[in-house]
Amino acid sequence: MPPENKTDPITVAVVNSSEEVVDLIREVLEDNGFATVAGHVPDFKRGRADFDQFMQQHKPRVVVWDISPPYDDNWAYFQQEIHDRPSCAGCRFVITTTNHRVLTRLVGETGAIEIVGKPFDLELLLKAVMQDAAER
């Protein structure tokens, strides 16, 4: 359930490789009462931004993290370098991808929400974020 107190909204980090997708997801989340911060997977992966610093600064309750091609490489990066970091303690992840079928074939079931084309199912994504925000 989204925050009822407008002075202290729940923070959601949107981490994707596409600025356009980040902006679209941010708009939907902010329209539903969440505060959002943005990060870009390539910046964290290539060391241009410090993920731990990002998490410590913003303290998001939920991170919407995108797994893009090459799916197996980016899934491995997420699993090995991001998911279990101490800076993520108490944080929930909603995984998105552009091709759920291929991601599942390569790495197994991830529970990822497929975001393909425009418009993709923003209601499904919003529902997942709201559920994870409420479960903390």
* pLDDT more than 90, % of the chain: 62
Query: Which tens digits make up the pLDDT trace of 47-105?
Result: 999 999 999 999 999 999 999 999 999 999 999 999 999 999 999 999 998 888 888 89
CATH of the domain spanning 11-118: 3.40.50.2300
In the chain, where the domains are located: 11-118
Report the distance separating Cα 90 and Cα 46, nearest Å.
25
DSSP code of 27?
H
Angle, helices 122-135 vs 19-31, to 10°: value is 60
Q: Rounded to an integer, what distance in angstroms lies between the CA atom of residue 67 and that of residue 94?
A: 11
pLDDT at 116: 60
What tens digit of pLDDT does each residue of 93-113 get? 999 988 888 888 988 888 888
Separation of alpha carbons 7 and 58, rounded Å: 16
Termini Cα distance of the chain: 11
Average pLDDT of the segment spanning 111-118: 70
Q: Rounded mean pLDDT of the chain? A: 88
Residue 119 has pLDDT above 60, yes or no: no
